[in-house]
Every structure is written in structure tokens, then in C-alpha cells.
Structure 1
Amino acid sequence: MRIELPNSYFEEVDNSIRLIWRNTLHADFEKALLEKAIRRKFKVKPEIHVEDGYLVVNTENEDIEKFIAFFIQSHLGEFLKSRYTRRKVVYIHEGMEVPLLGYNGFGLIDRGTNLIQIRGSTGCNVSCIFCSVDEGPYSRTRLLDYVVDIDYLLKWFDEVARFKGKGLEAHLDGQGEPLLYPFIVELVQGLRENPNVSVISMQSNGILLNDKLVEELAEAGLDRVNLSIHSLDPEKAKMLMGMKDYDLNHVLEMAEALVNAGIDVLLAPVIIFGINDNEAETFIEFARKIGAGKRWPALGFQNYVPYKFGRHPTVKFLSFKEFYTWLRNLEEKTGMRPLVLRPEHFGMHRRRFIPLQFHIGEVVKVKVILPGRIKGEMLGTARNRLIEIINTNAKVGEEIKVKIVRTRHGIYVGTPV
């Protein structure tokens, strides 16, 4: 009997059966565990192996096939991991009653404009040497990842969108690579069906794109990709991305494929002076060559800024005043405008802010519901909002009092009292 599960295929890894789910996630089941479960249930001695992506069992009993499918799906949450970060994944669904406002790792973020940030998952497939949150396969601080169920994410977005009104930009981003979200095409489709959404944009490093996915995203209604390419020199690009197998040529081909599919591209290099600032004109030439920036600016040069929990290469740091002077000089020299970007270039404007549920200094009773992403961090809930609790030894299920120390943009951080 050959068994397959929706959106999945199987691999055999050592003494385990590995289920690859939606390309970005996997779960390992010990072969002995599966065989034991079948033996207990059906009083037979099964033999299991993988062949051409199928799970093969030496039986024709259809009840066994249904049992294996049920067993795997029932235990998927215990073993689910990211294929790219290799970290355990917490799958967040409606039954868990986890609020999707209040935390910057996943869910929704409203910064008081008509743009809503949508973060369906955490994790990244590269380990950029300047990463502001120490993400990727070589992270030293990130302990686990989250994935939010697509229906639950869209349900929360719909509530936020109805409050914010029409003309919204739904921006897919995150602490990492949005294409790791296993329902990315369905997410774009769902957002396109929302009557309050006018623009759907996404940040990406482009590595996981392929021709088929580009076409699917275009058909689903994606309008723009802010593409993170930090060097047009293959070896320098590998160094900046922190990955020896980074394929720059593939990403450049995908940039062109996006434009050809009708998805606008904004190249978004992080400029580290002394390393890649001398490539600015080359980036401009490439943007012009592929036809980037049809509806929005073609380039969004970013100034490298060191962050407390990020990676800190030993490099020169330019003040923003100096950086903007550099950009204006580049505009004059190349004729590429705008390079000094403003919200109006993207149709962004102020919009009423979702009311804050807490104020700084307030002491709140919080139920701890999830482990956090770094040591000493947990996530709690109160008033239908998530709160990041730092410097805590609390455990899931406990109720503790925390003092709110941050509320900016509706992202709440508290410390135990």
C-alpha cells in the first residue's frame, strides 16, 4: 500500500520516516513508533519504507492507511520543525485562543497608517551577517519558531481591516523570510478577496522563489516584492548572506521573472559602507535593466544599523544625516529618483490607530500561554492581546503579574512584578 498525505511527501532519514509538509516544514516519526502503533491496533507485523515520496506499508488493509494518516496528523504538532532553521515549530490555530495583536514575532502590526504588517511565521533560510534579530540557521539566540494557521490569520486580519477602513496595504514581512510561511499563496489569495485591501506587498530574499511560485503569486494578486539583494558580486553576496550556497544568479533571474509576471520589484539592499556602497550604481543599472519600479520606487537603499539583539559586523556606521546626503548625491549623479524615500511614494498615510489596551507602568495580571523565542522570554495574554514577558522564569499555564514597559505601535512588553 502506498500512502500519501495532502501537500506532503515522505523521506527516509536514518531510522525515521520524515514527512515534508508544504515544503517548508517537516516532522520525523521513528519507524519503530509507527510500526508499534500499527501492531497494537491491528495485531499484524508491518514493514514500512519510503518509495518515490510515498509511505509504503506491506498491507492492503485500507483501515491501516486511514489509521496511519490519522496517527501522523494527530502527532504532527509534537514533532513539527522548520526545514530551514531546524528549530521546533509551534503551530498556532484558533483553538489555542492566541491573540494576533501585541507581539512583533507573528500576527499583525498596526503602526498608525494604512499599512498593516502581516507575519504568518518566524524563521529565515539565511543568516545575514548584519541581521537585526539574529535570525537564520546559524542563530545563537532564537530557540523556536511559530507558524500561524491561515484561516486564523485571515480572520484576525479581517477584523483589523474593518476597523482601519478601505485602501489598505497588506504587507507580508516578519522576523525572517516570509516565503517560509507554508500558506503564502493562500494568504495572498485571501487578502486579495478582502474589500479593504488595495495593495499586497511582500519582503523576500528571493531564494525560495521559482517560476511556478512566481506565477502562483501573480495569479493570487501580489502587487510588489521588496527584494533583499545586498551585492551583485556572487562571492560578496554569499558573505553578506552568511550562506556559502547562496545562488545570486537564481535570485537575479527571479527578480526578472517577477517583473515579467506583472509583480513590481523594489530592490532593497542594506548598505554597509566599506563593503557594498561602491555597488550602488550597479544596483541602479540592474533595476533599470529588468524594469523594476513601474508603480513604486525601484530602489530602497537601507542604512545598516546595529541592534541590541542582532549581529554586529565590525564595519563603519554612517549617521542617517550622512546616509541621506549620500543618497541625494547618488540621485544627482545617476538621475534615478526617488532614492530618498518617503511614505507618500508608497501611498502611505496616517490612519486611526487600534486603541492601546495597556499603558506604560501599568501592572497587569497575565496568563502565560506560549514559550518565547529567546532565553528568559515567554508570551502571555490579557485583554485579548499578546504580551512579551522578558526576564522571566514563568511556565506555560501560570498566571503572573507584569509591569508594562513598552506599548509603542501596540507591541507590548512586560517584566515580572
Structure 2
Amino acid sequence: MVEVRLPNASFEDTGETIRLIWRETLYADFEKEELFRAIRRRYRVSAEITAKDGAMVIETDYPGLEKYIAIYIQNNLGALLRNRYTGRKVLYIHGGMDVPLLGYNAFGLIDRGTNLIQVRGVSGCNLSCIFCSVDEGPYSRTRKLDYVVDVDYLMRWFDEVARIKGRGLEAHIDGQGEPLIYPFRVELVQALREHPNVSVISMQSNGTLLNDRLVEELAEAGLDRVNLSLHSLDPEKAKMLMGMKSYDLEHVLDMAEALVNAGIDVLIAPVIIFGINDDEAEAFVEFARRIGAGKRWPALGFQNYIPYKFGRNPTIAKLVPFKEFYAWLRKLEEKTGMRPLVLKPKHFGMEKREFIPLAFRPGEVVKAEVVLPGRIKGEMLARARDRLIEVVNTDAAVGDRIRVRIVRTRHGIYIGTEV
């Protein structure tokens, strides 16, 4: 009998397949019949294959079998990899692919002309909030795949961005979804903490995937702050807003306190939908005070709900102009004594910095190579001048060389249409 164990992985027997769970957030299903055939081709024997105590168990014993199966898994993992929370196919982006990490919203790095750099190593979310601006989560109707960027490759690009942007940077780990589904979350924080140009490391999170062990690991790695997406203190209302009946509000509240106790500052960041959760504003203030949030930065960051073209836009949402929203915040400051609630860049040490130079001009037509499928129908990602371009409304395939007219360049996010 041979037991196959792999680093940062465990195996489960699902009946027809052996499921490999890798780094808690990704999985791949290997059909037992394919494993049978692979063993039969090499060793000319049949063997029962199961999983027990996190190992793949093969009911035979031949020299080199364990190594052979490990190599087989490694060679086939990329094609089978899926996001454990969305169930979607995952494209693993690494240095050998030479995919630029500047130019696209869903992964890589984003520079918005300040000393804050958004770091996005993963797409996808474990929740399906009813107001999600990008229609993320398990119930998404538009997102068809997810991305994971190798941490060493991500840091290679971060080095170049940091060289241009200078010292005193805030590395903000966020994404189109939940950053904690990134399989290298702790390693990323460690690498950023060791970077000489980084002064602050912050992260956006809904808090559901935190546990005591992970909180301690993130604290030891050097995470400074979590912007916690917490939208209601009522369990049933929270489930409705988060779009998941399994949402455990009590766990998230406990983890918020655990973060503070571990030395990680917390900013409570509710999206306010007037008529639904605006009546909880004072309760949010009280909760933030109780757990000791906001030691170095503001304790609360109320956000005004606004609809997005490709997001989920609930019909029950009441839209409030930002002028009224800021007036509401100022009244809340006066009533509760919690300040600041009207937030400004200075409250986070943000300052303007020179943008990374744009690679394209609006209206320009460029030759580009299609390198990856996009996340929604009719979208592909093309490479030109060491940048990614989101090409929309196209039938092009990976490997095609196409001409693209650039229609948007704001903040170095490039969108184009095929000519």
C-alpha cells in the first residue's frame, strides 16, 4: 500500500474522483479511472485508489509509485484547478506565462496616482452580496472563471512598481471579491513586509474565512490593518445582504475582536443602503468602540451604495446623493462623537504620487496578442507593450494577434475593442 501526501494539500474521496484540496482555497478532481489507467500503463497492474486521513491511498506497492503519482498530479493540476468557493475554473498565472500584471482590474497591481498600490492576487468570492459591484460570488451569473497569481511573480511586478513609486507605500491587498481566498495570503503579507518601500500593509476582507490561527499568522507576517466589510449587526439582515444563508455574523464579530487583540487595526466598512441598514449606524459606532477599532486609522468607513453597470443592483435600494450622504455622516459625528466619519486621504497617510506612465493613448490602435480569456462573455485579455488590455465584445481566441483600439486608460486600466 502506498500513501501519497503533498505539501499544503490533502485528498478526499468523492466517489468517482479523488479530490485534491490545495492550500485550503483551491481544488482539483482527478478521475479514479484516469488514475487507474496511468498506473496500469506504467506498472501493468490494477490498484484500488481511495483517500484516508488526507492522503491518497493506492492498494499496491511498487518502487517509485509515490513519486510517479506526485509528478502525474503536478503535470495535470493546472488544467483541473478550481476555486473552492465559487466552483469556477482557475487560471494560474506564473512567470513562465509572461502575462503583464498591469492593465487589468481583476488581478495584478493598480496605481491610482497615490502612494497606495492595490495588490490583487486572486479573483472570486465566497459570498454573493446583493449589492456587489462586480456580480461576484458563488451565485454570479456573469463571471465564468477565476485567476490566481503566483506570489513570487506578483512580487516581481510589485518590485518594479515600487521602484517607480518610491518609499512610504501602502500595499492594499484587495480584489474583485474576497482576498483571503488567495492561497498565498500569508506569504504575500510576509513578502510585502520585507519590502523596503512598503510602510503599511492593509487588506480588504469580509472576515468569514478568518480563524484564530490565520489571524495570528497574518499578525506575525506583518499585516497592519483590515478594512472589514460588515454591513449589518442583525444576523438575519446580514444573511440577506451577504446573499448567503450560511453567513455567520457572530463568527465575523469574534474575528474582528481577535484582529484587534492580535495587534491588527480594524476599520469597520459598512455599505449603507438607506432604508435597509442606515438605522444601524449608531450600533456600528458602538461596536467599533467596544472592540477597540481605529487605533492608528479611522475606526469606521461608511460607504454610500451606488449601482454599477456590471454589478448586482437590488431594486429595494434607495439611492442617496453624496451631498446628502456626507450631511448624514456629519450629523452622525455630532450625535456619537465618533470622528472622523467623513474620511479624507490624509486620514490614511495617502498622498499624491506620479502615475506609472501610460502605455497607450485613448483612441490609439495597437497590435496585441490575446493571452488569456476574460471573466465575462465576449471579453479576452491581450498583451502589448508589457501591459494587459481588456478587449471587449470580441470573438478572438488565445494566441490570436489582433488590432485593438484603446477606449479607456484611466488609472492604467486599459480597455479596448477589436478593430
Q: TM-score, normalised by structure 2?
A: 0.99
* Counterpart residue number, 1:401: 403
Alpha-carbon distance between aligned partners in 1 of 2:177 and 2:330, rounded to the nearest angstrom:
30
**2:64 aligned counterpart, secondary structure:** helix
Equivalent runs, 1:99-138 vs 2, <5 Å:
99-138=100-139
Alpha-carbon distance between aligned partners in 2 of 1:58 and 1:14, rounded to the nearest angstrom:
16
Residue 322 (structure 1) aligned with residue 324 (structure 2):
yes
Tell me by how many angstroms 1:62 deviates.
Answer: 3.9
**1:365 aligned counterpart, secondary structure:** strand
Structure 1 residue aligned with 2:374, among 341, 349, 372? 372
**2:127 aligned counterpart, secondary structure:** coil
* Counterpart residue number, 2:392: 390
* Counterpart residue number, 1:232: 233
* Counterpart residue number, 1:150: 151
Equivalent runs, 1:271-350 vs 2, <5 Å:
271-314=272-315, 315-350=317-352
Q: Deviations over 1:83-108 (max 9, x none)?
A: 10000000000000000000011000
Residue 199 (structure 1) aligned with residue 200 (structure 2):
yes
Q: Deviations over 1:38-96 (max 9, x none)?
A: 11011111111111111001223241100000000110011000010000000000000
Q: TM-score, normalised by structure 1?
A: 1.00
Structure 1 segments unaligned to the other structure (5+ residues): none
Structure 2 residue aligned with 1:381, among 375, 380, 383? 383
Alpha-carbon distance between aligned partners in 1 of 2:286 and 2:47, rounded to the nearest angstrom:
61
Equivalent runs, 1:154-173 vs 2, <5 Å:
154-173=155-174
Equivalent runs, 1:38-49 vs 2, <5 Å:
38-49=39-50
Alpha-carbon distance between aligned partners in 2 of 1:58 and 1:85, rounded to the nearest angstrom:
33
Give the residue type in structure 2 aligned to 1:146. Answer: Y
* Counterpart residue number, 2:242: 241
Q: CA RMSD in A?
A: 0.5
Give the residue type in structure 2 aligned to 1:328. Answer: R
Tell me by how many angstroms 1:305 deviates.
Answer: 0.4
* Counterpart residue number, 1:75: 76
Total equivalences in the alignment: 417
Alpha-carbon distance between aligned partners in 2 of 1:60 and 1:88, rounded to the nearest angstrom:
34
Alpha-carbon distance between aligned partners in 1 of 2:338 and 2:239, rounded to the nearest angstrom:
27
Alpha-carbon distance between aligned partners in 2 of 1:392 and 1:196, rounded to the nearest angstrom:
39
Give the residue type in structure 2 aligned to 1:231. Answer: S
**2:161 aligned counterpart, secondary structure:** helix
* Counterpart residue number, 1:90: 91
Alpha-carbon distance between aligned partners in 1 of 2:374 and 2:359, rounded to the nearest angstrom:
21
* Counterpart residue number, 2:188: 187
Tell me by how many angstroms 1:277 deviates.
Answer: 0.1
Q: Deviations over 1:105-161 (max 9, x none)?
A: 100000010000000000000000000000000000000000000100011001111
Residue 141 (structure 1) aligned with residue 142 (structure 2):
yes
Q: Deviations over 1:194-240 (max 9, x none)?
A: 00000000000000000000000000000000000000000000000
Give the residue type in structure 1 aligned to 2:348. Answer: F
Alpha-carbon distance between aligned partners in 2 of 1:64 and 1:167, rounded to the nearest angstrom:
51
Alpha-carbon distance between aligned partners in 1 of 2:63 and 2:125, rounded to the nearest angstrom:
39
Tell me by how many angstroms 1:3 deviates.
Answer: 1.1
Alpha-carbon distance between aligned partners in 2 of 1:293 and 1:332, rounded to the nearest angstrom:
18
**2:28 aligned counterpart, secondary structure:** strand
Tell me by how many angstroms 1:14 deviates.
Answer: 2.5
Stretches of 4+ moved more than 4 A in 1? none
**2:209 aligned counterpart, secondary structure:** coil
Q: Deviations over 1:300-329 (max 9, x none)?
A: 000000000000111210000010000000
What is the percentage of aligned positions where both structures have the same residue?
Answer: 75
Alpha-carbon distance between aligned partners in 1 of 2:130 and 2:63, rounded to the nearest angstrom:
51
Alpha-carbon distance between aligned partners in 2 of 1:190 and 1:329, rounded to the nearest angstrom:
42
Give the residue type in structure 2 aligned to 1:404. Answer: I
